[in-house]
Structure 1
Amino acid sequence: MTLPKMIVLDLDGTLLDSNKNVSGRTVKLLTELKEKGVQLVFATARPPRVTVFKGIDLTTLGTLIFYNGALFDCALTKKQIHFGIPHRTAQKVIDYCNELDPEANLSVEIKDHWFSFKPLDYREFMHVDHNPVVIEQEHVSSQDCTKILLTDFPFANQLVTTYQNELNVIVTDQGRLTQIMAKEASKEQAIAHLLKTHQLDFDDVLCFGDDYNDLGLFQACGYAVAMGNAVDELKEIADEVTSSNDEEGVANVLEKLKNRE
C-alpha cells in the first residue's frame, strides 16, 4: 500500500474509541499526512452538531460528510449539498412505521435539527447531551427530511424490504438503530462528488470503517481497512483488518503507511 491521495475515516467505532475520544498518536499521524498533501475526509452518520471532540478539530484537518452522505459542503463551490427524503415520501414512511408499531421510537433529522413526535431520551444510547425537540408531525410535513431514525424497531427488516428500491435503509449499531435516507445519500456517493472536484479516482482512496453503512465505500475504494470490531460482512470484503477502535486500529495502519514512505 502506497501513500493514498485521500483517506476516508468513519467516526464511531473507527476513529473514535468507546469513550468517544481520539488518541494523541492518531491526531499526530493524521496531521502529518495532511501536511504531506493527503486529503482527509471524515464520513459519519452523525449530524454536524455532534462532531466536536476533545483533542481534535476535524474541521481544520479535513472535510466532513454528515448523515452517511446526505449533507456535506462542496469542496469547489463551498455550497452545502443536501440529499433529503422528499417530504411526501418521508411522511409516507413515518406513517408506515407508526402503523407497524404505534409505539415506535422515531425521530427526524432536518439539516442539523432533530425532532420527534413524543419525548425520547437518547442521551446514553447516542452519547449526546440533548434529546430531539418534541413537535407535531404536521410541522415537518412539508419539509424534506435528511434522515429518519428508529431505535430498537422490531420491523427493521420489513422496512428494508419495502423501501430498498426507493430509499437507503441501513440497520446499524448491533441492530438497534435503523437509519433511513434518500437513495442518493451514501458515503460513497458523497466521496464520488469530492473525488470529482479534486480530479481523483476511487483507486486513490484508503478508507476505514466498522459498520454496515461503510459497505458501499469499501466496495468502491482502492484500499479498505476494517476495524477489529467491525461487522463480519465488512471484514470479508476488506483488504486489511486492523486492531479495534479501542486499540488504536487507525493509528496502527497509518504508522505502517508512514514507515513505508
Structure 2
Amino acid sequence: MEFSALVLDLDGTLLDSNKQVSERNKQAVISCHQRGLTIIYATARPPRAVKELLPEELYTIGSFVYYNGALVRSSHCGEEHHFPIERDLFGEFLDHCLDIAPSVEFSIEVMDEWYCLGEIEVAVVARRKGNPIQREIDELKQYHPTKILLSSIDESNAAALVDPFATRLNIVITDGGKLIQIMSLTASKEAGVQLLCDSFGISMSELIVFGDDYNDTGLLGAAGYSVAMGNAPHDVKEAADEVALTNDEDGVGVVLERILAE
C-alpha cells in the first residue's frame, strides 16, 4: 500500500496508558517521515498539552488538528484555521446547562487558554495540562469558545444536556462517557485534516489513519486506509479497515513496520 500522509490520534492511540510514546512507536513514525509521508496529529487536546506530550522529534515533523478540528495549525504549510462556537449560541448553551445540571463541571478552551466557572476535578486538570482560569458567568459569556468541556456528568442528565443542541453543535461523548466535548458544528477531525491535505496537495484517499474513540470515526471513514486500536470501542473498530494491537502493545508501531516493509 502506498500512502502520502500518516494521521495519528494521540490518547489511546499513539500514547500508551501512561501518556508516553514508546520507542517503537516513535521510530515507526520517524521512519514514515523519512520515507516522505506527511505527519499529521489529529487530537482532542489543546496545543500546550500536545507540545508537552510529544517527543521533540515527533513534534517538529508534525502538522496539527487540535480540539477535534476546531483549531488547525501547520508551520510546514503555513496554515492556521480557527472554528469557534458563536458567542450567542454559547451563552444559550451555558444557561441551558446550568438550568439542567447546575453541578456539572463546565469549562471552555479559547485558543489554548482554559477557563472555568467553578472548581474542576483534579484528574481533569491533570489531563488538560494546566490550571483553568476561573471566571464569573457574565465574563465567560464574552468568549467565542474553541471547545466546551463538560465533566463530572450525571449520566441521567447527559441526554437532557446535549440533545436540544445536537443539530447546532458538534457534540462528542468520549472517555467512556466521562467527558462531553462540544465544538462548532463546522469543526471535526476529518474537516481539519481535509484542510491540511488540500494545502499539501494530498487526497484523503492517500491517508493512513489511526484512532481509538468516537471522535475518530468520521476520520476513519474518510481515509484511504483506517486502523482502529485494539482498545477502541466495538463501534469504532467496525468503522476501520483493520484493528491493531492496543495502545499499550505498540499497536501503531506494529502496523507501520509491516506497511513500511511491504
TM-score by length of 2: 0.93
Aligned to 1:230: 232
In 2, are the aligned partners of 1:204 and 1:221 still within 8 Å (CA)?
A: yes
Q: 1:176 and 2:178 equivalent?
A: yes
Separation of aligned partners in 2, 1:100 and 1:144: 22
Q: Report how far residue 76 of structure 1 moved.
A: 7.5
Greater alpha carbon shift after TM alignment, 18-27 vs 70-79: 70-79
- RMSD of the alignment, in Å? 1.7
Aligned to 1:214: 216
Separation of aligned partners in 2, 1:153 and 1:69: 23
Q: Report how far residue 75 of structure 1 moved.
A: 6.1
Aligned positions, number: 259
Structure whose residues are more often helix by fraction: 2
Aligned to 1:249: 251
Give the partner amino acid of 1:158. A
Q: 1:119 to 1:144 in 2, by over 3 A?
A: same
What is the CA deviation profile of residues 106-143 of structure 1, one whole-angstrom value per residue up to 9, with x for unaligned ones? 11111100011112133467535533111112223222
Aligned to 1:16: 15
Greater alpha carbon shift after TM alignment, 128-137 vs 186-195: 128-137
Unaligned runs of 5+ residues in structure 2 are: none
Separation of aligned partners in 2, 1:28 and 1:203: 24
Give the partner amino acid of 1:59. Y
Q: 1:29 and 2:28 equivalent?
A: yes
Q: Report how far residue 189 of structure 1 moved.
A: 0.2
Unaligned runs of 5+ residues in structure 1 are: none
Secondary structure of 2:108's counterpart equals strand
Secondary structure of 1:184's counterpart equals coil
In 1, are the aligned partners of 2:109 and 2:115 still within 8 Å (CA)?
A: yes
Greater alpha carbon shift after TM alignment, 182-191 vs 147-156: 147-156
Separation of aligned partners in 2, 1:170 and 1:126: 21
Separation of aligned partners in 2, 1:68 and 1:54: 17
Q: Report how far residue 16 of structure 1 moved.
A: 0.1
Greater alpha carbon shift after TM alignment, 70-79 vs 3-12: 70-79
Secondary structure of 2:12's counterpart equals coil
Aligned to 2:83: 83
Greater alpha carbon shift after TM alignment, 190-199 vs 73-82: 73-82
Give the partner amino acid of 1:213. N
Structure 1 residue ranges, 4+ long, deviating more than 4 angstroms after superposition: 74-77
Equivalent residues in 2 for 1:167-206, closer than 5 Å: 167-206=169-208
Separation of aligned partners in 1, 2:41 and 2:214: 16
Greater alpha carbon shift after TM alignment, 231-240 vs 121-130: 121-130
Separation of aligned partners in 2, 1:186 and 1:152: 24
Separation of aligned partners in 1, 2:126 and 2:57: 20
Greater alpha carbon shift after TM alignment, 187-196 vs 75-84: 75-84
Q: Report how far residue 157 of structure 1 moved.
A: 2.5
Greater alpha carbon shift after TM alignment, 162-171 vs 77-86: 77-86
Q: Report how far residue 4 of structure 1 moved.
A: 1.0
